[in-house]
Structure 1
């Protein structure tokens, strides 16, 4: 595989079917492209009923239809964006997908689940091939499944029968070293929600220090498997304290802090940009229905539209002197 570097954003998460095919979504995609982004991770999900269900279903009210996906991929390609198709399974009982699983001795249940998950993935892998998506993500933060090495290897082989592009798996931060089948993917991905601030100290210098420690671990992972490392998810909200808990989406009582979000972006870009083994960023995330620009100063979400973090990202993504 030729050297890859992703200047990307995650687009379209947590919206219902039809949302990609609105005027607002198309306008949002244009604004995403204007940041200098060259890729999107088109990420959507369906459900299994509980964390221990063995069947993954299509939720017609929520899950994106193939028509939705084809529309979004087509619009992205019209804008010159490359696409990583990223289908995700969530649990309807609200338990995080990392807990999906069964006791180790429950082999029959594991076999049923992997059969259902493989069928789910093959549908979208085939669609990704038909739509010429440049990358396909085979899973996201499914920590409790990752020890089932033989079944993951079989799944990957099945996906390769219908999709010819590069495959990535999206591990969760801090859990990357427990995955022994990374030799079978083309790219090692992770959700890089590493805490990089210390207490009230959210300076960029402190964040850089912590990212350097993360970089050492990521480089070791790269050397172990000889695969590029991609931050399939990375970001934090524009709220005070969020660089200490970048994964947080619940504490909406925290005050707005654009500077902390911008420093998180700048520090990560500074530390990883020039590493040849590093394959880039899919920042979390860019909504299909953006707030009005004059509302950016009050927004506490992950979106960076109209915020200081967008200025930082444009500097890195657009200016030639920072080119990979």
Structure 2
């Protein structure tokens, strides 16, 4: 509750409640419910109710990862006739997984439901995704979103089936470590133009389902990075990333908003902010940017 209260103090109005389960490897056709790994329904209910008590809206975001540590974008099978039964089996299991949480999102009055995150290899399976979306809509009557990976948004043919075009906007907008806000703004502009065209084509809003970067030198050249722990602390670059994208996208009427990555359930102590090189912005300059921006633009 303390973490949620501090998040609310930034001026944020929504949270994406993201949680995961693990399939055995990227070629597995079974997605297990293992409460040794996955949040229980009771955990989720508690978190949703705590958020709503603070006046926050909730996007429920179940995610499937791979136990072998390979990125979920690689979950899938070869594009050949013999692989079709494996695709059918995986989508059947994924459908069971998603339908469970769609029912929960409906029961808990979640304001949005995310049906997938960065499942790049599965995205060409148009018929499977269309059928899955039809299933979800029978169980959940709120807006649904799919979270593409940055750069793959234009390839998804079934994006017109959902209510919002979602993406993980980890665009590398810095030209060099420690780059300025002005340089980042210049690199966000073509991203904005691309998103505007996608909106015009499909007629639905665009939302950044994940966006952020770490408070480490060079982070804005590779905002997705979480592995290079040796990079030195740099809160200025993270703050420039935040302020630059806010300036470029805020006034666009077709743009639905930002889900910033990340805000941890258990926050570090405030005094540790000046040495923390993670995605969290608590106690860092980027948090001040967000508070000031949200305060001025309400």
Name the TM tier (shorter chain).
Answer: over 0.9
Distance in 2 (alpha carbons) for counterparts of 1:219 and 1:115: 34
CA contact (8 A) 2:215 2:277 kept: yes
Q: Which residue of 1 aligns with 2:29?
A: 54
Is 1:278 aligned to residue 255 of structure 2? yes
String of CA shifts for 1:42-100, please: whole Å, max 9, x gaps.
Answer: 00000110000000001221200000000000000000000000000000011100000
Is 1:188 aligned to residue 157 of structure 2? no
Q: Which residue of 2 aligns with 1:171?
A: 148
Q: Which residue of 2 aligns with 1:232?
A: 209
2:103 to 110, 126, 133: 126
Distance in 2 (alpha carbons) for counterparts of 1:251 and 1:59: 30
Give TM-score, length-normalised by structure 1.
0.91
What are the within-5 Å matches in structure 2 for residues 169-318 of structure 1? 169-200=146-177, 202-318=179-295
Q: Which residue of 2 aligns with 1:8?
A: none
Q: Which residue of 2 aligns with 1:19?
A: none
Q: Which residue of 2 aligns with 1:82?
A: 57
SS at 2:192 equivalent: helix
Question: Can you give the 5+ residue segments of structure 2 that lack an aligned partner in the other structure?
Answer: none
SS at 1:315 equivalent: helix
CA contact (8 A) 2:178 2:217 kept: no
Give TM-score, length-normalised by structure 2.
0.98
Residue 104 of structure 1 and its aligned partner are, at CA, apart by: 1.4
String of CA shifts for 1:230-279, please: whole Å, max 9, x gaps.
Answer: 00000000000000000000111001000000000000000000100000
Following TM superposition, the consecutive aligned residue runs of length 4 or more in structure 1 with deviations greater than 3 angstroms are: none
Q: Which residue of 2 aligns with 1:6?
A: none
Distance in 2 (alpha carbons) for counterparts of 1:280 and 1:192: 12
Structure showing greater relative contact order (alpha-carbon pairs closer than 8 Å, 6 or more residues apart)? 1
Residue 207 of structure 1 and its aligned partner are, at CA, apart by: 0.1
Residue 200 of structure 1 and its aligned partner are, at CA, apart by: 3.8
Distance in 2 (alpha carbons) for counterparts of 1:256 and 1:215: 29
| RMSD (CA atoms) | 0.7
String of CA shifts for 1:83-132, please: whole Å, max 9, x gaps.
Answer: 00000000001110000000112110000000000000000000000000
Residues 309 and 129 (structure 1 numbering): CA distance in 2 closer, same or farther, change over 3 Å? same
